């Protein structure tokens, strides 16, 4: 089997132990992954701390930008190899990994260009003998914790702004499917970043994640994952008082009005919930459809879902591949069973596919008469669409906001005025109108509630990795009078 290594202080090193990684298409082990424990985690944080106070701090912002530009070029050139690894280790189909990783290079280019544009400000202070200005300075060592799904993208939206801001980073890849991030370490090395600026680990919660997030030299924790783990991360941050940015799950509403282009909306809905086998934080997993259009729209969706080609993720013609893990498939199956028991109607799909691998078909559940079904509230993180209907715009908005999450949303309507009302009313960090799943390095991305806080993308992300220093400079040549002499 292939064997991967940790990347610590500019060197590729073994872990404290190894563990097998399974190919989701077969369920069989294909590679050995290094397990980081306390010695490796501590070594990575110490290396990042030394680099932050040493060679990295001596580079100008423009020099940091040039390294990021070089990294972007290397990512673009290595995209086919990285895509093959991600598909092998996570089951994400090759047509998605190929396109997404190639686009990741644009994120590094964006932050390369931004590195020397993170500015302070001169303040028009109310004291005539003072000049006052602010500086944006890097926070320090960042712990970036990345899940297995879209990991090269989800690491780029942390590494790019953190490095542009002048921070150093310890990346923890998920123990599920870490191969592409461990391979990505070779590009960091080739780009010429000073040792310790970027370190890449993988390992399990108690022996790796806990130690990393409580380490006294970690200044900021950037986490993507589920709300349950995020709560543990926040509790851990009480040990070092590290700031946090959390990009968590979602139960995103996908609202379709009767005046929408139903064919276009159906294509967007299929992409929004079945792309990446539904394993996406922004999956449009709640279809909120106007009752007058429900039957026609569900007929379109059912036909499209049942025509999706489910096959090996390595084939370019595959449209839906396997789930990443067996436990995820078990979770989805249990939620569907509970939802049907609660009164939801199964339109299509609903049961694991026979044979090897962790395959699950596109599934549609009509929950219009089952408002308490788990499918309405709980995140599946899989190819399962829950459907509810509405009559009025006010009702649609109330259903959309009836969630503890607040990450993404979609609105499909031909009415510009209605679109603006929905944009104002929906409580989510992202609203897509007559489109879905569009992203860009230029645009901030993030949510609120159980979907987390902080932003990834745009200038806002880079500022999350900085702190403000205020400088006071006295311009008078007169001596400061003795404050204890009465005049």
Please give the positions annotated as active site. 247
Which string of DSSP letters, residue by residue, matches 26-61?
Answer: TTEEEEEEEEP-HHHHHHHHHHHHHHHHTHHHHS-H
Q: Work out the angle at residue 264's Cα, subtended by the Cα atoms of residues 291 and 292, and round it to the nearest 5 degrees.
A: 10
CA–CA gap between residue 32 and residue 46 (Å, rounded): 26
Enumerate helices (H) and strands (E) in the chain, giving the number of each: 15, 21
Q: How many Cβ atoms from other residues are within 10 Å of residue 460's Cβ?
A: 15
Let me know: does 279 contact 256? Beta carbons within 8 Å. Answer: no
- Cα 331 from chain centre: 21
Q: How many Cβ atoms from other residues are within 10 Å of residue 402's Cβ?
A: 15
Both tokens assigned to 118:
């993170």
User: What is the β-pairing status of strands 253-256 and 286-290?
Assistant: parallel
Q: How many Cβ atoms from other residues are within 10 Å of residue 190's Cβ?
A: 12
Q: How many Cβ atoms from other residues are within 10 Å of residue 120's Cβ?
A: 15
Phi/psi for 296 (5° steps) reads -65, -40
Cα torsion angle, 474, 477, 483, 487, sign: negative
Contacts of 38 (CB under 8 A, 6+ apart): 207, 211
Contacts of 485 (CB under 8 A, 6+ apart): none
Beta bridge partners of residue 201, listed in sequence order:
172
Both tokens assigned to 314:
């390595």
Q: Which one-letter DSSP state was computed for residue 66? A: H
CA–CA gap between residue 50 and residue 121 (Å, rounded): 29
Cα torsion angle, 342, 346, 349, 355, sign: positive
Contacts of 337 (CB under 8 A, 6+ apart): none
């Amino acid at each position: 089997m292939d064997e991967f290594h940790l990347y610590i202080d500019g060197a590729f090193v073994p872990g404290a132990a190894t563990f097998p990684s399974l190919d989701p298409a077969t369920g069989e082990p294909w590679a050995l992954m290094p397990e980081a424990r306390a010695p490796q985690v501590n070594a990575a944080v110490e290396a990042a701390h030394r680099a932050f106070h040493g060679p990295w701090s001596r580079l100008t912002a423009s020099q940091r930008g040039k390294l990021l530009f070089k990294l972007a070029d290397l990512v673009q050139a290595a995209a086919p190899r990285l895509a093959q690894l991600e598909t092998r280790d996570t089951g994400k189909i090759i047509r998605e990994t190929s396109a997404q990783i190639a686009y990741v290079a644009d994120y590094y280019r964006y932050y390369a260009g931004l590195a020397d544009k993170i500015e302070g400000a001169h303040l028009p202070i109310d004291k005539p003998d003072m000049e006052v200005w602010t500086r944006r300075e890097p926070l320090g060592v960042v712990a970036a914790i990345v899940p297995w799904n879209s990991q090269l993208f989800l690491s780029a939206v942390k590494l790019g702004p953190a490095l542009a801001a002048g921070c150093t980073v310890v990346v923890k890849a998920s123990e599920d499917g870490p191969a592409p991030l461990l391979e990505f370490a070779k590009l960091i090395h080739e780009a010429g970043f000073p040792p310790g600026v970027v370190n890449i680990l993988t390992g399990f919660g108690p022996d790796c994640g806990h130690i990393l997030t409580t380490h006294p030299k970690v200044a900021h924790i950037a986490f993507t994952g589920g709300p349950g783990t995020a709560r543990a991360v926040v509790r851990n941050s009480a040990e070092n008082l590290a700031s946090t940015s959390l990009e968590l799950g979602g139960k995103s509403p996908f609202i379709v009005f009767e005046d929408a282009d139903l064919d276009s909306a159906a294509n967007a809905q299929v992409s929004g919930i079945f792309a990446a086998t539904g394993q996406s934080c922004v999956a449009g997993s709640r279809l909120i459809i106007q009752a007058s259009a429900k039957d026609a729209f569900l007929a379109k969706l059912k036909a499209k879902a049942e025509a999706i080609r489910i096959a090996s993720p390595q084939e370019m013609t595959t449209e839906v591949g396997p789930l990443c893990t067996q436990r995820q498939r078990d979770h989805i199956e249990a939620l569907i069973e509970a939802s049907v028991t609660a009164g939801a109607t199964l339109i299509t799909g609903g049961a694991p596919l026979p044979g090897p691998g962790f395959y699950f078909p596109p599934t549609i559940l009509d929950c219009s008469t089952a408002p308490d079904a788990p499918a309405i509230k709980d995140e599946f993180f899989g190819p399962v669409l829950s459907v509810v209907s509405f009559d009025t715009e006010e009702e649609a908005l109330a259903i959309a906001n009836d969630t503890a999450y607040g990450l993404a949303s979609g609105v499909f309507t031909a009415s510009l005025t209605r679109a603006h009302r929905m944009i104002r009313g929906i409580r989510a960090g992202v609203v897509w109108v007559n489109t879905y799943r569009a992203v860009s390095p230029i645009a901030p991305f993030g949510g609120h509630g159980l979907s987390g806080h902080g932003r990834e993308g745009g200038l806002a992300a880079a500022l999350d990795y900085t702190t403000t220093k205020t400088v006071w400079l006295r311009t008078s040549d007169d001596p400061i009078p003795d404050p204890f002499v009465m005049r």
